[in-house]
Amino acid sequence: MLYRVGKGFLALDLIFEHRDLARLCNRRAALEAWAGEYADAMMRLLNEVGCADRLGLLARPPHVELAAGRRGRVAAWDSEEAYVLLEPEDDGAGDELRLSAEAAIVIAVAAGEAQLNPEGVRWPRACRLSQITR
């Protein structure tokens, strides 16, 4: 079952294939309980992700970094220990198409030491979380 959170005109559509991820990312109280002191950073990063009109534009804000991973996945993170792993909806796209995607599936999130990664997917090597998969 897909949980789609579309923000409409000129915004990246976020898709959640896992109910737990959808609940966590869309409920402030749940995110605060889960992320603790990192909740504000996680909320800011999710807002940045949702406000971009294409996946590649996430790299524009100076505090957000991107790294490409396996199967077209893209990790986005900030300096405050908030991370989100995304997969373009157009699966199997090349680098150029991946960054032009207007919809992405949220695969995993992490804040500080907490991580919700239902599929146990590996994070891209350039990301600090590449050594941690739970």
Cα 78 to Cα 93, 110, 127: the distances in Å are 25, 11, 10
- Mean pLDDT, the chain, as a whole number? 80
pLDDT digits (tens, 9 = 90+) for 77-86: 888 889 999 9
pLDDT tens digits for range 74-123: 888 888 889 999 988 865 555 555 677 788 899 999 998 899 999 999 88
pLDDT confidence of residue 48:
84
Between residues 75 and 128, the one the model is more confident about: 75
Tell me the average pLDDT across 38-64: 82
Instruction: Give bridge partners of residue 110 from the DSSP assignment.
Output: 83, 115
pTM greater than 0.85: no
Task: Give me the sign of the Cα torsion angle 125, 19, 81, 77.
Answer: positive
Instruction: Say what the pLDDT of residue 2 is.
Output: 47
Beta-sheet pairing, 3-5 with 13-16: antiparallel
What is the pLDDT, as a whole number, of residue 133? Answer: 46
pLDDT band at 38 (very low <50, low <70, confident <90, very high): very high
Per-domain residue ranges of the chain: 3-131
CA nearest 14: which of 39, 49, 44, 64? 49
Residue of 102, 111, 104, 108 lying closest to 133 (CA atoms): 108
3-state DSSP call for residue 60? coil
**The pLDDT value given to residue 74:** 86
